[in-house]
């Protein structure tokens, strides 16, 4: 490097000034307004969001949008630290189940009034179960962007070999099929995979019972209920009768290889798995796998309402512009384009008329299932309680805890986790 | 200016940095461990209750804490001696006059230390696989039944120990190898003249000469082993049946997964107390060795 000394001095002075300006920018971020709308989107959605926005920019030439992309693994934490650091974006994508937590933080703007006055966001065009996940404490805090739920993925060829042409509609039929498959595949292979480190399948089956998963407005666990007892018994019977292996995802190592080998024939998963199955299963098996709605205790059953929503932050100084962007992203036309880019299932039912989606045989089960989805309890503590459910069920499957003690143990754990929430609710009631 | 004041002045920037980035956070964490700070506390400090020692009392009543403590101690008690024994063994082999291609083997044996754990974990999940794993394949040669390494609650922690020993022994190996090379050759010559065999030379020349180094290596290794986190985080996520939940893992889950920062802080201080206690015990036990 042959930089003259005076040059270096100048440089260091300039970089000092820059550093000082940077510090101020960080410190005064809230007051400084560069007129840019900040939009946080996660993972693959974040990658394609910019492509969607071309038309929006043309319609609103005075408005600039900056898409800030977060990896899914860090997104939840980023939202919370942004709240703590007073650096929340104007509008963000977020998992439906995160909304209650951010509402508890009073970080989100209720959207009811804007939705009523909107010509574009028509709540009647959304799946009611998914919409419900955005309704927290009586306010609509988000608008669904794309949806997901859990359905059955199964091997049509193995089911046919066991003597069944159609997927199951209720638990009894399903159990008979599982037994028939198990007889065909022998002791080394299984009929169903219920990974011990996943709680979603069990929660979906419990939601089918039609009872609340928490009682007294989310104050206490509801594990000592008849519905949970039925669900637990059904779930455990899969392991006791050796229809499902007592293993977790770690031991499966490669899910798609095992599915191709016929290690299991049924698996409960979400829409992202459609693309994975197409990509990762050998071509010979592409016509052999299919999806089906979840069977219920007595006929087609419910499943979990999932997906991502768009929400506007309370501290945003550009709420009107953020709402404009939200309306744009909610248009059926844009939703179809979004489906084409990501494969995410559109939240608008009218967008499902898209030929690519309407003719996709694997998406049909999702379309049917989405009419029967229910939200998980809308309390910030739910994920932690569901994790305890997974841990306790794992202990029972491994024989470390008697099945009869599970419900009481779960209620005790849930009630302990919900102690703070009860205190908060009681205090609010006194005021 | 008095020399003392000048000294303080020179040290001031560093002291200030230590105060801001170390003392203040630790004090804040100590204070936090006496509250029930959580996600609601993030919303407003009015939602935070001062609960004194309640977090610590709750922790002592939590079965998962005792499970985590047991898991961590198991890892320390089994992993530390095993890791040092493997390091010493490979260092001796590399130091041997009979060894060929020393440079190659030194690099090869050290390479696990510098590879990324996340990548290594993917390979190890397959090595440890119940049905297709190389390890179980090897076991089948000597007539042993396959072991469900990561799925069986009794074998998960031993599997983590294996991975950790393989991943980390190279570091201590290099230190011990340097120690071996520093032992003067005339000591061995003298021992040989006195008629000592290779076993006697190892016991009476190599081990005493390496003693200070072995003490340092064991203190550092133990401190590292108490902080076991990454291996279970990438391999088992604490499972099966919470058999690989360690104290640090418990703290991570409480603090950063569930945002119960109050209770997570109390876990941190309990872990600190344990490590302090063990380190004091170790220095007391090895004081005689190092001096000898």
- On whether residue A100 sits in a domain, the answer given is yes
- On whether residue A143 sits in a domain, the answer given is yes
The CATH number given to whatever domain includes residue A342 is 3.40.190.10
On whether both A397 and A254 belong to a single domain, the answer is: yes
User: pLDDT class for B1, splitting at 50, 70, 90?
Assistant: low
Residues in chain B closer than 8 A to A394 (CB atoms) = 239-241
On whether both A192 and A258 belong to a single domain, the answer is: yes
Residue of A141, A131, A213, A170 lying closest to A377 (CA atoms):
A213
Q: Is the pLDDT of residue A20 over 50?
A: no
Contact A250 B235 (CB under 8 A): yes
On whether both A204 and A59 belong to a single domain, the answer is: no
Task: Give the span between the Cα atoms of A121 and A119, in whole angstroms.
Answer: 6
Contact A250 B47 (CB under 8 A): no
Contact A394 B239 (CB under 8 A): yes
- On whether residue B25 sits in a domain, the answer given is no
The CATH number given to whatever domain includes residue B161 is 1.10.3720.10
- On whether residue B15 sits in a domain, the answer given is no
A391 touches B: beta carbon within 8 Å:
yes
On whether both A419 and A285 belong to a single domain, the answer is: yes
Q: Is the pLDDT of residue A11 over 50?
A: no
On whether both A299 and A315 belong to a single domain, the answer is: no
A258 touches B: beta carbon within 8 Å:
no
A198 touches B: beta carbon within 8 Å:
no
Lowest-confidence range among A27-36, A261-270, B57-66?
A27-36
Please count the residue pairs, one from chain A and one from chain B, whose beta carbons lie less than 8 angstroms apart. 60
Q: Is the pLDDT of residue A5 over 90?
A: no
On whether both A222 and A335 belong to a single domain, the answer is: no
Burial of A45 (0-12, 13-18, 19+ CB in 10 A): buried
- On whether residue A391 sits in a domain, the answer given is yes
On whether both A176 and A87 belong to a single domain, the answer is: no
- Residue A143: its pLDDT value, please? 97
Q: Which of A84, A251, A395 sits opposite B150 (nearest CB)?
A: A251
- Residue A13: its pLDDT value, please? 42
A400-430 per-position pLDDT tens digit: 999 999 999 999 999 999 999 999 999 988 8
Q: Which domain holds residue B227?
A: 57-291
- On whether residue A364 sits in a domain, the answer given is no
Please report the ipTM that was assigned to this predicted complex. 0.80
User: pLDDT class for A12, splitting at 50, 70, 90?
Assistant: very low
Locate B125 and state its tokens: 């999940």
Q: Is the pLDDT of residue A3 over 50?
A: no
- On whether residue A365 sits in a domain, the answer given is no
Q: Return the HEC string of chain A.
A: CCCCHHHHHHHHHHHHHHHHHHHHHHHCCCCCCCCEEEEEEEHHHHHHHHHHHHHHHHHCCCCEEEEEEECHHHHHHHHHHHHHCCCCCCEEEEEHHHHHHHHHCCCECCCHHHHHCCCCCCHHHECHHHHHHCEECCEECCEEEEEECCEEEEEHHHHHHCCCCCCCCEHHHHHHHHHHHHHHHCCCCCCEECCCCCCHHHHHHHHCCCCCCEECCCCEECCCCHHHHHHHHHHHHHHHCCCCCCCCHHHHCCHHHHHHHCCCCEEEECCHHHHHHHHHCCHHHCCCEEEECCEECCEECCEECEEEEEEEECCCCCHHHHHHHHHHHHCHHHHHHHHHHHCCEECEHHHHHCHHHHCCCCCHHHHHHHCCEECCCCCCCHHHHHHHHHHHHHHHHCCCCCHHHHHHHHHHHHHHHCHHHHHHHHHHHHC
- On whether residue B43 sits in a domain, the answer given is no
B168-196 per-position pLDDT tens digit: 999 999 999 999 999 998 999 999 999 88
Shortest distance between the Cα of B194 and any Cα of chain A, in A, equals 57
On whether both A237 and A255 belong to a single domain, the answer is: yes
Locate A308 and state its tokens: 């991502």
- On whether residue A43 sits in a domain, the answer given is yes
A311-323 per-position pLDDT tens digit: 999 999 999 999 9
User: pLDDT class for B267, splitting at 50, 70, 90?
Assistant: very high
Q: Is the pLDDT of residue A135 over 80?
A: yes
End-to-end C-alpha distance for chain A, whole angstroms: 69
Contact A80 B258 (CB under 8 A): no
Contact B43 A84 (CB under 8 A): no
- Residue A199: its pLDDT value, please? 95
- On whether residue B39 sits in a domain, the answer given is no
A315 touches B: beta carbon within 8 Å:
no
- On whether residue B263 sits in a domain, the answer given is yes
Contact B40 A101 (CB under 8 A): no
Do strands A143-148 and A345-346 pair parallel, antiparallel, or not at all (unpaired)?
antiparallel
Compare all CA atoms of chain A with the CA of B44 and give the residue at the minimum distance.
A105
- On whether residue A338 sits in a domain, the answer given is yes
Residues in chain B closer than 8 A to A247 (CB atoms) = 148, 151
- What is the count of structural domains for chain A? 2
- What is the count of structural domains for chain B? 1
Percent of chain A with pLDDT over 90: 81
Q: Is the pLDDT of residue B85 over 70?
A: yes
Contact B241 A424 (CB under 8 A): no
On whether both A160 and A223 belong to a single domain, the answer is: yes
Distances (CA, A) of A189 to A260, B150, B206: 12, 19, 55
- Residue A287: its pLDDT value, please? 94
Task: Give the span between the Cα atoms of A421 and A217, in whole angstroms.
Answer: 10
A28-72 per-position pLDDT tens digit: 444 445 679 999 999 989 999 989 999 999 999 989 999 999 998
Contact between A347 and A332 (Cβ < 8 Å): no
Contact B241 A104 (CB under 8 A): no
Q: Which domain holds residue A397?
A: 151-304+376-430
On whether both A325 and A298 belong to a single domain, the answer is: no
Contact B148 A420 (CB under 8 A): no
On whether both A243 and A338 belong to a single domain, the answer is: no
User: pLDDT class for B93, splitting at 50, 70, 90?
Assistant: very high
Task: Give the span between the Cα atoms of A152 and A142, in whole angstroms.
Answer: 28
Domain boundary among A314, A333, A359: A359
Shortest distance between the Cα of A176 and any Cα of chain B, in A, equals 28
pTM: 0.85
- Residue B182: its pLDDT value, please? 92
A342-386 per-position pLDDT tens digit: 989 999 999 999 898 999 999 999 999 999 999 999 999 999 999
On whether both A389 and A333 belong to a single domain, the answer is: no
Task: Give the span between the Cα atoms of A167 and A177, in whole angstroms.
Answer: 9
Residues in chain A closer than 8 A to B151 (CB atoms) = 246-248, 250-251
Contact between B136 and B146 (Cβ < 8 Å): yes
Q: Is the pLDDT of residue B219 over 90?
A: no
User: Chain B residues with CB-CB distance to A under 8 A?
Assistant: 36, 38-40, 42-43, 47, 49, 125-126, 129-130, 132, 148, 150-151, 153, 235-237, 239-242, 256, 258-259
- Residue B289: its pLDDT value, please? 61
- On whether residue A72 sits in a domain, the answer given is yes
End-to-end C-alpha distance for chain B, whole angstroms: 46
Q: Is the pLDDT of residue B53 over 90?
A: yes
């Amino acid at each position: 490097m042959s930089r003259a000394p005076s040059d270096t001095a100048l440089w260091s002075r300039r970089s000092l000034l820059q550093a000082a300006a940077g510090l101020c920018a960080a410190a005064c971020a809230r007051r400084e307004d560069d007129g840019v709308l900040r939009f946080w989107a996660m993972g693959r959605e974040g990658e394609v969001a910019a492509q969607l926005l071309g038309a929006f920019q043309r319609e609103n030439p005075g408005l600039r949008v900056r898409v800030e992309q977060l990896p899914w693994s860090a997104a939840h934490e980023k939202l919370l630290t942004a709240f703590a650091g007073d650096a929340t974006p104007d509008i963000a994508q977020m998992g439906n189940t995160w909304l209650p937590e951010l509402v508890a933080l009073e970080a989100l703007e209720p959207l009811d009034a804007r939705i009523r006055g909107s010509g574009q966001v028509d709540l009647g065009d959304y799946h009611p179960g998914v919409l419900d996940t955005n309704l927290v404490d009586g306010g609509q805090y988000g608008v669904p962007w794309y949806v997901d739920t859990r359905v059955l993925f199964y091997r049509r060829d193995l089911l046919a070999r066991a003597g069944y042409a159609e997927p199951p509609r209720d638990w009894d039929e399903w159990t008979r099929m599982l037994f028939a498959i198990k007889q065909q595949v022998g002791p080394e292979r299984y009929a169903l995979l219920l990974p011990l480190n996943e709680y979603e399948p069990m929660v979906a089956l419990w939601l089918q019972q039609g009872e609340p998963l928490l009682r007294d407005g989310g104050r206490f666990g509801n594990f000592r209920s008849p519905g949970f007892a039925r669900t637990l018994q059904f779930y455990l019977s899969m392991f006791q009768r050796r229809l499902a292996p007592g293993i977790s995802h770690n031991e499966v190592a490669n899910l798609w290889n095992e599915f191709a080998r016929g290690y299991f024939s049924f698996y409960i998963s979400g829409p992202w798995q459609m693309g994975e199955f197409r990509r990762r299963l050998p071509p010979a098996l592409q016509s052999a796998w299919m999806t089906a709605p979840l069977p219920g205790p007595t006929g087609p059953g419910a499943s979990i309402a999932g997906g991502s929503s768009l929400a506007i932050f309370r501290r945003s100084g550009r709420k009107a512009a953020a709402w404009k962007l939200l309306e744009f992203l909610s248009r059926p036309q844009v939703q179809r384009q979004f489906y084409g880019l990501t494969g995410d299932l559109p939240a608008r039912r009218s967008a499902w008329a898209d030929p690519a989606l309407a003719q996709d045989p694997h998406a049909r089960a999702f379309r049917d299932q989405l009419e029967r989805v229910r939200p998980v309890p809308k309390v910030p503590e739910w994920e932690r309680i569901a994790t305890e459910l997974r841990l306790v069920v794992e202990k029972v499957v491994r024989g470390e805890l008697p099945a009869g003690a599970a419900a009481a143990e779960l209620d005790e754990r849930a009630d302990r986790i919900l102690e703070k929430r009860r205190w908060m609710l009681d205090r609010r009631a006194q005021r | 200016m008095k020399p003392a004041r000048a000294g303080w002045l020179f040290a001031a920037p560093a002291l200030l940095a230590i105060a801001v980035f170390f003392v203040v956070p630790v004090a804040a964490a100590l204070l936090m461990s006496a509250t029930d700070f959580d996600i609601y506390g993030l919303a407003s400090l009015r939602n935070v209750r001062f609960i004194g020692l309640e977090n610590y009392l709750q922790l002592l009543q939590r079965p998962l804490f005792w499970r985590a403590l047991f898991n961590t101690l198991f890892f320390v008690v089994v992993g530390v001696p095993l890791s040092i024994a493997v390091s010493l063994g490979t260092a001796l082999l590399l130091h041997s006059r009979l060894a060929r291609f020393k440079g190659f083997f030194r690099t090869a044996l050290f390479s696990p230390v510098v590879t990324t754990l996340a990548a290594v974990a993917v390979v190890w999940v397959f090595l440890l696989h119940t049905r297709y794993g190389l390890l179980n394949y090897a076991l089948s040669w000597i007539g042993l039944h396959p072991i469900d390494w990561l799925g069986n609650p009794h074998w998960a922690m031993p599997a983590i120990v294996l991975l950790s020993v393989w991943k980390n022994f190279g570091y201590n190996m290099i230190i011990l190898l340097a120690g071996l090379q520093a032992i003067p050759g005339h000591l061995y010559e003298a021992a040989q003249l006195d008629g000592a065999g290779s076993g006697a030379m190892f016991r009476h020349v190599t081990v005493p000469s390496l003693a200070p180094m072995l003490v340092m290596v064991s203190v550092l290794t133990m401190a590292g082993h108490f902080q076991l986190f990454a291996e279970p985080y990438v391999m088992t996520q604490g499972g099966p049946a919470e058999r690989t939940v360690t104290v640090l893992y418990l703290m991570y889950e409480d603090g950063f997964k569930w945002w119960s920062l109050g209770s997570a802080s109390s876990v941190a201080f309990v872990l600190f107390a344990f490590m302090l206690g063990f380190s004091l015990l170790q220095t007391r036990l090895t004081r005689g060795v190092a001096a000898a």
